[in-house]
Structure 1
């Protein structure tokens, strides 16, 4: 590699899709200078990866772009549910589920909600927000090679337009470069799991009369099960733009070239049950569903995120959401280490926390594909309906990582969603009032460690501030109660301490990513020593 260094940055992100752009946004919010490179000339043009779960939307809420995303996704706002039928015109129809959040139950647990926003609409929002925060983003630039040493990573980059090459020196590299990750391959990191599950060809098409048949069945997706023409139909604008996922069998020697426009149009007509439908094919993209997890998530100063770290069946959009949450977990840890208030050992917790989540979530995604009879997936018989989707989205736990006092023997994803403030779990949502302004507890978590205590927790609040000052750790401490001296007030009729699993004189330490780092149910003899020990343990100080 050319020894001359042209640019220096704290973090180099390779990959400018959902995960890479999210990493750029999160790092930018934390004030970490970085460079993102993406080999393609622009963001995705294909409407895919549309399901953003409630946890992802919470992260985007805190990052200040939830409203912009919902505006970009407004055309699909009325769409709910998954429909399954032999055709759109027959009488046999079944809703696998009709509403994402029946009865509005989710509002008790989160200030956000699910959002249907296709990747081609979401990525520009992420890129714009990241650039407004000062991110340097170069599309049409590929990573040629990299080498690392004890102090950093030297990466050779090439412009795909001009061929110009430059060497960038970074302290850390985040490889969000997809399922065939050249970075993972170069590091020699293997994968484990079921491997390839099935293959589809995603076909974008225009059909003006199709909306007449769909009518008021504004589904997220419709699985069409005619064995001679099965596939999945997804709306793009609920009017004339659509996507159809057709099964593809390369394992049987079927070439991609066999999917001509004429064949695709004929398949779509048969699948929806409209032999005379006028179909104009506008685009085509093959994709492969697999269940794989990298054997490790990092090597030295290089970290895998998103599809480079894990592949999942697309049913339920678990893969993209898990990847975005990878980026969020890694971003605050990189910021803490680069800014000097955490030890390098904190970065080792990234893989210990995220890899088990990916493994269990991947298993749930495959099971959901079986439940929904996803076109092209010949699943093992006997897989029943899957419960606990909210547990996967919000209830996953970090059993081994940057947590003090967690339960290492507990499940990574519980059977049912629980929110009780346990160390290693996402901190509960509760509406609070600050000077008459309503905010969620989740809105407090981003820039610093946060200590929350009940109405009898003055000693905790003061002790935490002293301990954090001594360790030079950014920390916000709040006493929550109805008194004049409390920092935040719970909404009437709610009990902060009970919701967070503590007594009024207990305390909770929350990480910048909103996960509970440590908890004391009651006041101890030496609150300051207890908080200092927790901070040292969690932050590898």
Structure 2
């Protein structure tokens, strides 16, 4: 069979890639060796930037809002037990200075990974993605024209021919290993055990704290749906021992406790030294293993990988852009993963384990969620002198950053104007004419100050909602200037 894009791996990054590609009309096939999601929920909660991406594809109403506390993220405290004395509160970053600025129309998503993945799969299928569970890729090869994979489901092996392949096959990634792509980072750190259980403990979450470091027991956190996980030292535990640990962590022995499953987790950190090789692209844990932390970097960054790659693959496959556009995937996303790796170890988040935190500047939640900077040939005007992240109001519409949010109508954000194609934001008739001549959608926005523009300026926003270029004033020939900027940043064929 033939497909435009073959995705290998049906976790969050792979399923998101299939979703975003199908939403853009790309013929996409996904194969996943497991029959469904892991019984252990793993990630829980997704940041507001991911909420924005799912809002764009029409999923916002299907997902519960995040429980994150404004300015804090998910709050964590050290305690003698869940019901016992609480001591110092620790922070993923120093608490952000609260601001009256509204950064996003989205609140993030409060759902566990094992429930998020089926929702994403259902939406991807609804949009036309061919998703094949219980199907394992046995081997692959690539040539100048595409990728050939041999896969097997319940029957005999068969061949899939694709123009491109997205490897979202996990942190051990057989595809990455076969390509000979190495990784850089902290490497192996430690191994932990976990027990997932259900208990009626919602009353202890009323103050907004959802993570508890329990003295002499372990780390306790909630999935927000009646399920809790207790992380323990790495050794074998009998069921009575697990129940004893749970009771000590809770501080009560009079509750009904249902043990659901257990897990063993290898905690490591590393970023692939390349995110692509020919027609094959790494995404999610295959590209970067980022330890679980209050940043939630692993899952969120993987979904954002998929989003960045999807619009570029769509543009190349439909003939709007030259293949050179795909080179910007590695250039844009790998620095983000490296920054996240640095930020995890710059925080006193338990991962340093007796060593001092890495000496690096800290970027708060608002900067890491909304203010990451891209530098690539698909961005004009993002110099090396600029920091890797800032809050949106500090960027003020800087090319290479996410287009800022401001309401432009009842329930309608500037972000709702983007992601279907390239958009020119301005409020001047000459720019409107220039947009028509360049074949770019024009959106009249009166609040140009949040884009760092005067009434004669304009910003060109890419198909992923990132600013590619801006002109702070009206040039002598707006049409020609816009045409050149669009052709350069989009690797355009027209």
Same fold (TM > 0.5): yes
2:185 to 193, 218, 233: 193
Distance, in Å, in 2 between the alignment partners of 1:88 and 1:340 is 57
Q: Answer with 339-348 or 114-123: which moved more.
A: 114-123
Note the C-alpha offset of 1:199. 2.4
Q: Which residue of 1 aligns with 2:173?
A: 181
1:231 to 215, 219, 225: 219
Distance, in Å, in 2 between the alignment partners of 1:98 and 1:352 is 27
Q: Which residue of 2 aligns with 1:19?
A: 13
Distance, in Å, in 2 between the alignment partners of 1:100 and 1:388 is 7
TM-score by length of 2: 0.92
Please state whether the residue corresponding to 2:394 is helix, strand or coil: coil
Alignment of 1:346-425 (within 5 A): 346-368=325-347, 370-371=348-349, 373=350, 378-381=353-356, 388-414=364-390, 418-425=394-401
Q: Deviations over 1:481-522 (max 9, x none)?
A: 4xxxxxxxxxxxxxx221111111111000011100000000
Q: Which residue of 2 aligns with 1:292?
A: 270
| Higher RCO structure, 1 or 2 (CA under 8 Å, sep 6+) | 2
Please state whether the residue corresponding to 2:310 is helix, strand or coil: helix
Q: Which residue of 1 aligns with 2:429?
A: 458
1:535 to 460, 480, 486: 486
RMSD (CA atoms) = 2.7
Please state whether the residue corresponding to 2:86 is helix, strand or coil: coil
Note the C-alpha offset of 1:103. 9.9
Note the C-alpha offset of 1:324. 0.3
**Paired residues of 2:374 and 2:401 also in contact (CA < 8 A):** yes
Note the C-alpha offset of 1:364. 1.2
Note the C-alpha offset of 1:412. 1.6
Size of the alignment, in residue pairs? 487
Q: Which residue of 1 aligns with 2:442?
A: 477
Please state whether the residue corresponding to 1:167 is helix, strand or coil: strand
Please state whether the residue corresponding to 1:220 is helix, strand or coil: strand
Note the C-alpha offset of 1:536. 1.6
Alignment of 1:213-292 (within 5 A): 214=204, 216-217=206-207, 219-224=209-214, 226=215, 228-238=216-226, 241-248=227-234, 254=235, 258-274=236-252, 279-292=257-270
2:82 to 88, 102, 107: 88
Please state whether the residue corresponding to 1:47 is helix, strand or coil: coil
Distance, in Å, in 2 between the alignment partners of 1:412 and 1:352 is 13
**Paired residues of 2:64 and 2:109 also in contact (CA < 8 A):** yes
Q: Does 1:166 align with 2:166?
A: no
Quickly say closer, same or farther: Cα 1:108–1:236, change in 2 above 3 A: closer
**Paired residues of 2:2 and 2:162 also in contact (CA < 8 A):** yes
Q: Which residue of 1 aligns with 2:316?
A: 337
Alignment of 1:322-333 (within 5 A): 322-333=301-312
Note the C-alpha offset of 1:299. 0.3
Distance, in Å, in 2 between the alignment partners of 1:409 and 1:13 is 36
TM-score by length of 1: 0.84
Please state whether the residue corresponding to 2:449 is helix, strand or coil: helix
Q: Deviations over 1:331-364 (max 9, x none)?
A: 0000000000001000000000000010001221
**Paired residues of 1:388 and 1:416 also in contact (CA < 8 A):** no
Q: Which residue of 2 aligns with 1:484?
A: none
Distance, in Å, in 2 between the alignment partners of 1:80 and 1:299 is 37
Runs of 4+ in 1 over 6 A off after TM superposition: 98-104
1:51 to 10, 27, 45: 45
Q: Does 1:439 align with 2:412?
A: yes
Distance, in Å, in 1 between the alignment partners of 2:147 and 2:223 is 43
Q: Which runs of 5+ in 2 are unaligned?
A: none
Distance, in Å, in 2 between the alignment partners of 1:223 and 1:394 is 29
Distance, in Å, in 1 between the alignment partners of 2:207 and 2:187 is 35
Quickly say closer, same or farther: Cα 1:276–1:229, change in 2 above 3 A: farther
Please state whether the residue corresponding to 2:331 is helix, strand or coil: helix
Distance, in Å, in 2 between the alignment partners of 1:418 and 1:452 is 19
Note the C-alpha offset of 1:269. 2.4
Q: Which residue of 2 aligns with 1:3?
A: none
Quickly say closer, same or farther: Cα 1:199–1:332, change in 2 above 3 A: same
Distance, in Å, in 1 between the alignment partners of 2:98 and 2:114 is 28
Note the C-alpha offset of 1:381. 2.7
Distance, in Å, in 2 between the alignment partners of 1:412 and 1:536 is 25
Distance, in Å, in 1 between the alignment partners of 2:393 and 2:344 is 17
Q: Deviations over 1:243-276 (max 9, x none)?
A: 212232xxxxx5xxx1332332222223333467
Q: Which runs of 5+ in 1 are unaligned?
A: 1-6, 249-253, 469-474, 482-495
Larger Rg: 1
Q: Deviations over 1:435-490 (max 9, x none)?
A: xx541111111121000112xx211121122123xxxxxx2112334xxxxxxxxx
Note the C-alpha offset of 1:405. 1.8
Please state whether the residue corresponding to 1:418 is helix, strand or coil: helix
Q: Deviations over 1:204-259 (max 9, x none)?
A: 11345x556x36345332222x1x32222324424xx32212232xxxxx5xxx13
Q: Deviations over 1:152-177 (max 9, x none)?
A: 00000011xx2421100000000111
Distance, in Å, in 2 between the alignment partners of 1:350 and 1:415 is 23
